[in-house]
Amino acid sequence: MAIIWFLLALCMLAAVLGPYLLRRSGGIRQVLPGSPDAADPEDYGFLRQEELDIRLPGPDQDLLDVIDMVQHTQDWRPAAQLLAGTARTGEVRWQRVQAFAGAASLELSRRPGVGGAWLRNWRSESPKDAGAAQVHAEFLVQQAWRSSSAGTDDFRIILEEARTVCGEAALLAPGDPVPYIVELAVGRGLAYPEPQFEEMWAKVIDRAPEHMGAHLSALHYWCEKWHGSRDRADEFAHAAAARAPRGSLLAALPLFAVYEHLPEVNLVRGFYRSAVVTKALEGALYAVQTARADDPMLAHVRHLLVFFLVRSERWSEAMNQLVHIDGHVGALPWTLDPDPAAEYTVYRALAVAGYEANGGSPATLSR
């Protein structure tokens, strides 16, 4: 309950000091010291904004090559081959399913009725392909959130179709957690009752108990279910972090829970240096330090760390994360902005400026 009282007190303070408060996005240039233009990020080997890849949080060249090939030729076979060769358990398959679905969804938004034809052909020409069914289900979930307002008839119809396709995908690959992870997002949109969601969650953890992507999907449900109160989401995140073995990025889950419940308004220096945020930050930093260098979810955690470290004015630590992730910005929190690359470069420039204002330089930055 302590965290509830903390957030209630914060909201009361926000009501009194309204003119001096900032929204969750925007205004950061006005309150943090150092001008983003005072230092040049290129001095650190960082890419220009127009060179940043917004499709993925980190490098997966095989995936990017296949997406480019599929979109250029409209031939689905390279995608099917890549997924067939990707291990069913683990984060990589889930990320690739999301990426293929996102590519098809974006194509369709740009060319209504025409874009993403390769996915439709994949499903019709290879109906027993588990990968095709998984990508189709995820595609429908993304379409629901992209093209319809939550709670509308269209939204529900698309998600009901996604649930049906999830069932088909699960039958095609019984040991694969991906269909059930996709259905976690369906459950969030359709507001599954808790017992129904818990049943789905049990199927996920039976197959992949330490799957970070699955835990993030479940966290979204609990945050949505208890909107305005973070008791259940906070309990879920901290329980997962507590039972995570050393080297697991689940230790960073409480930081994602904090992000999901950031107040609409907050005092930049006060809130981001609070005990709640500091504790979650330290847990995420520990997770990053102990994780495998090739953990596919590592970039996700580093991107969120940059957001919180910059807001907390911990410039050197922010720079230490930036040198690992620069070049790819397809992750929270940047993807919630209409221009992810632009949002990321603002934070990157602030980190560089704050770092140099405190005596840092390209020569002193460890890589």
CATH of the domain at 86: 1.25.40
**The domain containing residue 113 runs over which residues?**
61-211
The predicted-structure confidence for 79-124, as pLDDT tens digits, reads as follows 999 999 999 888 999 999 999 999 999 999 899 988 999 999 999 9
pLDDT value of position 32: 47
Number of domains observed in the structure of the chain: 2
In a domain, 219, yes or no: no
Mark whether 67 and 203 lie in a shared domain. Answer: yes
Mark whether 198 and 235 lie in a shared domain. Answer: no
CA dihedral 310, 304, 187, 235 (to 10 degrees): -80
**Residue 146 corresponds to which tokens in the numbers above?**
């992209």
Work out the pLDDT band at 26, boundaries 50, 70, 90.
very low
pLDDT value of position 21: 32
Average pLDDT rounded to a whole number, residues 27-34: 44
pLDDT value of position 89: 82
Mark whether 11 and 89 lie in a shared domain. Answer: no
Mark whether 363 and 233 lie in a shared domain. Answer: yes
Rounded CA gap, 222 and 216, in Å?
10
pLDDT value of position 268: 55
Mark whether 278 and 361 lie in a shared domain. Answer: yes
Mark whether 132 and 270 lie in a shared domain. Answer: no
128 or 11: whose pLDDT is higher?
Answer: 128
The predicted-structure confidence for 329-354, as pLDDT tens digits, reads as follows 999 999 999 899 999 999 999 999 99
Mark whether 179 and 300 lie in a shared domain. Answer: no
What percent of the chain is modeled with pLDDT above 70?
86
The 8-class DSSP code of residue 74 comes to -
**Contact 210/245 with Cβ under 8 angstroms?**
yes
The predicted-structure confidence for 288-321, as pLDDT tens digits, reads as follows 999 999 999 999 999 999 999 999 999 999 999 9
Mark whether 2 and 91 lie in a shared domain. Answer: no
User: In the beta sheet, which residues pair with residue 266?
Assistant: 22
